[in-house]
Amino acid sequence: MKKKQQHPGGGADPWPHGAPLGGAPPGLGSWKRRVSLLPFLRFSLRDYGFCMATLLVFCLGSLFYQLSGGPPRFLLDLRQYLGNSTYLDDHGPLPSKVLPFPSQVVYNRVGKCGSRTVVLLLRILSEKHGFNLVTSDIHNKTRLTKNEQMELIKNISTAEQPYLFTRHVHFLNFSRFGGDQPVYINIIRDPVNRFLSNYFFRRFGDWRGEQNHMIRTPSMRQEERYLDINECILENYPECSNPRLFYIIPYFCGQHPRCREPGEWALERAKLNVNENFLLVGILEELEDVLLLLERFLPHYFKGVLNIYKDPEHRKLGNMTVTVRKTVPSPEAVQILYQRMRYEYEFYHYVKEQFHLLKRKFGLKSHVSKPPLRPQFFIPTPLETEEPIDDEEQDDEKWLEDIYKR
How far, in Å, are 227, 243, 308, 370 from residue 214 at the CA level? Answer: 15, 25, 32, 40
C-alpha dihedral over 9, 12, 15, 19, to 10 degrees?
Answer: 30
213 is catalytic: no
Q: Which of 139, 168, 170, 356 is catalytic?
A: 168
Give the residue numbers annotated as catalytic, written as ranges.
Answer: 168
